[in-house]
């Protein structure tokens, strides 16, 4: 029963939020516009519709929806609310026939921030789906000498020849090393 699914998802979200608050961490979804002040001036690159790993969907594009979800996209709204009713309807549809409409996301530094489709992400994460269809727009950060920027540039070079998001390295040179090991540049 989808009402039971919502109750379990909300319970998980509330438990997670309480735990985050107890350890002094922010208990809600991060909003991209809160993290990067220069988002409006970044270059946008439309990448099209593709399957993306749900574990890389970590926040929302704007601040407006971040407080109705825990940091793992579990719902926090009361059962019986309009939000809960919509979540349950979407969950029922997902179980019966799958989600047909792709979500809309912004990719920034190899993570995804939802512009449209937060509830679809929530239901998919609750149901342990590995991927979700998404219309992706990449936000390119402004050039810097920061190590995370240089690593992201290596990822972009890798992505041009192998458009895959599932391989994430944390040390510079790792993408080139992987290519060399596979006999490629």
pLDDT surpassing 80 at residue 17: yes
Q: Which of 59-68, 72-81, 149-158 has the lowest mean pLDDT?
A: 59-68
82 CB contacts (<8 Å, ≥6 apart)?
A: none
Please indicate whether residue 35 or residue 58 has the higher confidence score (pLDDT). Answer: 58
Report the C-alpha dihedral over residues 30, 35, 41, 47, rounded to 10 degrees: -40
Confidence check: pLDDT of 41 > 80:
no
- Kindly calculate the radius of gyration of the chain based on its CA atoms and give it in whole angstroms: 18
pLDDT: is 34 or 139 the higher one? 139
Res. 179: pLDDT tops 90: no
- Residue 50 confidence (pLDDT) above 80: yes
What's the mean pLDDT in 31-38? 78
């Amino acid at each position: 029963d989808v009402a039971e699914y919502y109750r379990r998802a909300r319970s998980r979200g509330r438990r997670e939020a309480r735990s985050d608050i107890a350890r002094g961490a922010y208990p809600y979804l991060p909003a991209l516009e809160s993290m990067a002040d220069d988002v409006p001036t970044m270059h946008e690159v439309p990448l099209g519709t593709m399957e993306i790993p749900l574990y890389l969907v970590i926040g929302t594009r704007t601040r407006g929806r971040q407080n109705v979800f825990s940091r793992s996209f579990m719902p926090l709204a009361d059962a019986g609310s309009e939000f809960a009713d919509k979540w349950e309807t979407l969950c029922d549809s997902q179980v019966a026939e799958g989600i047909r409409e792709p979500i809309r996301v912004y990719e920034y530094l190899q993570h995804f921030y939802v512009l449209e489709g937060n509830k679809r992400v929530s239901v998919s994460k609750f149901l342990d789906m590995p991927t979700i269809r998404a219309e992706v727009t990449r936000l390119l950060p402004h050039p810097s000498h920061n190590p995370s920027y240089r690593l992201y540039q290596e990822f972009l070079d890798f992505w041009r020849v192998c458009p895959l998001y599932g391989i994430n390295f944390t040390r510079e040179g790792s993408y080139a090393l992987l290519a060399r090991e596979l006999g490629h540049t």
